[in-house]
Amino acid sequence: MASNEIEILDSEASVGKLKKIAAGRALNRRHFIAALGMTGAAAGAGMMSGCSTSNSVAATTAASTGQIDMLNFALNVKLLQATFYSFIAKGTDLTGSAVTNSGAVTNAPGALTFTGIAGVTNGQQITDMINEIYYDEKNHVTTLLSLLGSAAVFRPAINLGAYGTINATNALSIARLLEDVAVTVFADLITGLSSTDITLLSQVLGADSFHAGILRLTALQNPTIAAYLKADTLDVAPFDPGTAALAAAGPTASGGFFAVAGATTANTTTPAGFAFLRTPSGAPGALSVLYGTATAAGSTTSVTLATQGTASGGFFPNGVNGNILKV
């Protein structure tokens, strides 16, 4: 299951070149996703022309500002995820364009392994899983940077210790929370994107959903190293209902196998079996979680959410970069 280093396609690749590559040989899963990202970048080149960027805000044309703001918000989330997994998988930071003009990264851990921990019998598989998620997240960043081109924001300052010092007994709790938050906010962002960008971000959402699912299963099987860290009122605890009847009814207030609305949490806007939506701003919203703090990460505790109007804190001590900045 361990992953190997992968090839990133040239960011200047044309649509025609990509089609030729696709026709000429079978691409593996990550090549295919990267190729789709480059196709989207070429298709959107006209929209991106004339754009410039700074450390904090991408200056864009009025017609495309909303779309670019949303994609840049997604890029902030992806940069956080990729940086988090880079350190816990490899013990080092990201490289290349992902760290151009980057803010500082603080409280970064070394590479983690999950073998030899009491009660954990599949530690090597967990280590391999984290490595594979790392490669996916790194590719998501590369593709979004290529899509946005000169409109892409730089990586903001990141405090990886926002929820406590990261170690092998709490990293999976934090990873599960980050994946669930990413899935729900990307599902919300997609509603405001054009068809080309919807396709790309929906594929990112799909990959993060796979990650969230395996991390939730890992949490059920290994509560010692993946206890529930509650994000906000929309969060669904990884929980085995324990009976066929309860399982058939879907998640309850106690939680469930999947982060979807269930027996006691469904409503008219989120029917049973559907994922909740988190807006970037507002409460509950993605930034209220990501700007929040937790002093006992890895235990059954809750994030102290950032309040309305907050523009920094938690994982982003100086705030995210772009135009969507506040809770």
Cα 129 to Cα 63, 69, 210, 218: the distances in Å are 41, 31, 11, 10
Question: In the chain, where do the E strands start and end?
Answer: 52-53, 58-59, 105-106, 158-159, 229-230, 301-302
Place of tokens 């409503």: 267
pTM, two decimals, is 0.79
Write the CATH number of the domain with boundaries 44-224: 1.20.1260.10
Enclosing H/E stretch for 302: strand 301-302
Q: Which residues contact 313 (CB under 8 A, 6 or more apart)?
A: 162, 291, 292, 293, 306
296 backbone dihedrals φ, ψ, rounded to 5°: -135, 50
What is the Cα–Cα distance from 164 to 119, expressed in whole angstroms? 22
What is the Cα–Cα distance from 19 to 68, expressed in whole angstroms? 26
Indicate the pLDDT class of residue 79, thresholds 50, 70 and 90. Answer: very high
In single-letter form, the type of residue at position 164 comes to G
Give pLDDT tens digits for 198-248.
Answer: 999 999 999 999 999 999 999 999 988 998 999 999 998 898 888 888 888
Give pLDDT tens digits for 108-158.
Answer: 999 999 999 988 989 999 999 999 999 999 999 999 999 999 999 999 999
